[in-house]
Structure 1
Amino acid sequence: MEKSLSGGRFLLVTVLNVVITIFELVGGLFSGSLSLLSDAFHNLGDAFSVVLSYAAHRIGGRRQTRSNTYGYRRAEILTALLNAGVLVIISLVLAGEAVRRLLHPEPVKGDIMLLVAVISFLANLFSTVLLNHGAKHNLNIRATYLHLLSDALASVGVIVGAVLITVWQISWVDPLITILVAAYIVYESWPIIKQTFGILMEASPKLDYDAIAHDLCQLPEVEGVHHIHAWLIDENNIVFSVHVNMDDLPLSKIEPIYRQIEALLCHKYGVNHVTIQAECRRGQDEDLFYDQNDWRHD
């Protein structure tokens, strides 16, 4: 883990979110503000998210073992999916309550709402800055960062709503802000859910497979390429397997070709781990991608 994502920073962000949650729950109950209460629940989710994120980050850094030969990086993918999913569920529940409030408005104390929202915004902004760097390179940290950023934006909305309620007594602004923030969070969470689900389902990374086959066939002794498989361990680590047709050569001459294939896939296409199966004539007429149904029907 980078120094900027040390356990101390995760602990500080967790403590901040617990304090903000208590502060906003009390403020929301006294002011009658649904947007403050929704922000409090989001912050509670943030504290849970940060703890999970840190635990998954530690687990994901473990070395490979006999029982987990690819390591534990999927722990972070599972956590990212869980965090984003929880955000969506909380947002939908609060949006439903906001619709009820729009139909049956309730009085809101704008001055208390404003004070609590300003303090919460500053605390959320500070937490977001603490995790900003790690969010650029790690899907798990990005999901947690999104939790914190969504709360900072929600606090801005609550501040605007509090001003409108205090000055013009427009109480329906409070549930409206809740709905808008919920919609934004669902919109931002969906790409993370889609990406993590794709990784867990062994979806292929976005590579130009025709270009890869063409490049491999330009290497000396490589006559054909088939049965390509590619998948992601996490968002940064690509595993790749391929069958290549060559002349009937001894291993001492095949191994240098393997190294060329590995170097090409690593440097040009960002592949981290390559498995190569050399064949002489077998599979020459088969497709680039293996179709299991063809084998079943043979």
Structure 2
Amino acid sequence: MGGGLVMEESKTTSLRFLSVTILNILITFFELLGGIVSGSLSLISDAFHNFGDTFSIVLSYLANRLGNKKATPKNSYGYRRAEIISALFNSILLILISLFLLIEGISRIQHPENVKSGLMFWVAVISFFANLIAALLLHTGAHNNLNIKATYLHLLSDSLASIGVIIGSILIYFFNLTWIDPSITILVSLYIAYESLPIIKQTFSILMEGSPDINIEKVREDLLCIPEIKDVHHFHSWSINENELIASVHVNLPNLSLSEIEKVYSKIEQILKKKYNISHITIQAECTRGLKKAMCLSAEDENDIDLKLNK
């Protein structure tokens, strides 16, 4: 039953990605044409942004399909990291696009051009609703998936950019403030960068096997509450993606039978899964080896200890 739900969710996500891709391609050509005819930099820059979004959405879709593949003997943890790589690439692309828009916006302020505000307004209105529909299609999946979240932010930033263009076209029409057009472009570029940087930080941490936000000392205290455990050391945790945590830990136990040790393992797994949301746990039982050793020792610290013991 669980597998059926996953397959159904995967089909729904794939259909949404396809719908968003087609919609985004149409928006791109519509805005580019409207920007060229009206002379609006903000429309042209938004068209380029949408073109980048289209590429990102296709990449996200492929990563989503790959991420849903079953684990293999060679890739025993599956392919979920594909979506993390996609989210990182998409976010970096957003930063590059924002830099391009920032430079173009500053250049246009220095050399203002006439803009057909009426055409600019109607193109922006249509683009806003199209982008909003595309963003809503991915809104649900954006809460639990960094890959979809990065794509969702692409589309949301496009919607906000369209609002800026609409306001700008009204101001240009009534007050002939031509500097408004490039100013909107600059504001949008800064917003895009602001929203993208946290995703880059999080995805980079996952890919670098960074430890998730888990209090190691608290884990140790919780495990020492199990009567059979004398000490805990070498606790390591890392993320496969933003939802799946993995951990390994060494515990010192009395000289118990294998069946008794398995009961202790069950208690450990129950604590780590329920309290810390760790999905996969590797446990190593030891009698005196590593007893009273620090919870996490670096490779250098372990080498120093080995050298002292050998002396």
Distance (Å, rounded) in 2 between the aligned partners of 1:220 and 1:128: 52
> What's the counterpart of residue 49 of structure 2?
42
Unaligned runs of 5+ in 1: none
What residue number does 2:80 align with?
Answer: 73
Other-structure match for 1:255:
262
The CA deviation string for residues 125-178 of structure 1, in whole angstroms up to 9 with x for no partner, is 100111100001111100000000000000000000011111111000000000
Aligned counterpart in structure 2 of residue 212 of structure 1, from 197, 201, 219:
219
Identity %: 55
- Residues 1:118 and 2:125 aligned together: yes
Task: Give distance in 1, aligned partners of 2:201 and 2:265.
Answer: 34
> Where in structure 2 are the equivalents of 1:169-188 lying within 5 Å?
169-188=176-195
Other-structure match for 2:96? 89
Equivalent residue in structure 1 for 2:285, among 274, 278, 284: 278
Greater mean deviation of Cα atoms: 58-67 or 225-234: 58-67
**Alignment coverage as a number of residue pairs:** 298
Is the partner of 1:6 in helix, strand or coil?
helix
**1:89 shift after superposition:** 0.2
Q: Among residues 237, 242, 248, which one is paired with 2:249 in the alignment? A: 242
Which residue pairs with 1:269 in the alignment?
276
Deviation sequence 1:170-215 (CA, Å, 0-9, x none): 0000000000000001000000000000000000000121111001
Separation (CA, whole Å) in 2 of partners of 1:3 and 1:161: 40
Query: 1:4: how far off?
Result: 8.2
- Secondary structure at 1:244 match in 2: strand
C-alpha RMSD of matched pairs (Å): 1.1
1:3 deviates by 6.5
Q: Which of 94, 100, 108 in structure 2 is aligned with 1:101?
A: 108
Q: Which residue of 2 aligns with 1:228?
A: 235
Q: Which amino acid aligns with 1:251?
A: L
On the 8 A contact 1:113/1:158 being kept in 2, the answer is yes
Deviations 1:260-288 (A, max 9, x none): 10011001110000000111111113111
Alignment partner of 1:27 is 2:19: no
Measure, in 2, the Cα distance between the counterparts of 1:88 and 1:282.
Answer: 49
Normalised by the length of structure 2, the TM-score is: 0.94
Q: Which amino acid aligns with 1:124?
A: N
User: Is 1:51 the equivalent of 2:58?
Assistant: yes
Q: Does 1:166 align with 2:173?
A: yes
Alpha-carbon contact 2:141-2:148 (below 8 Å) kept: yes
Q: Which runs of 4+ in 1 moved over 6 A?
A: none
Residues 6-21 of structure 1 correspond to what in structure 2 (within 5 A)? 6-21=13-28
Looking at structure 2, the residues matched to 290 and 237 of structure 1 have their Cα atoms a distance apart, in angstroms, of: 24
TM-score normalized by the length of structure 1 = 0.98
Would the aligned equivalents of 1:220 and 1:257 in 2 still touch at CA under 8 Å? no
Q: Distance in 2 between matches of 1:240 and 1:137?
A: 21
Q: Which amino acid aligns with 1:127?
A: A
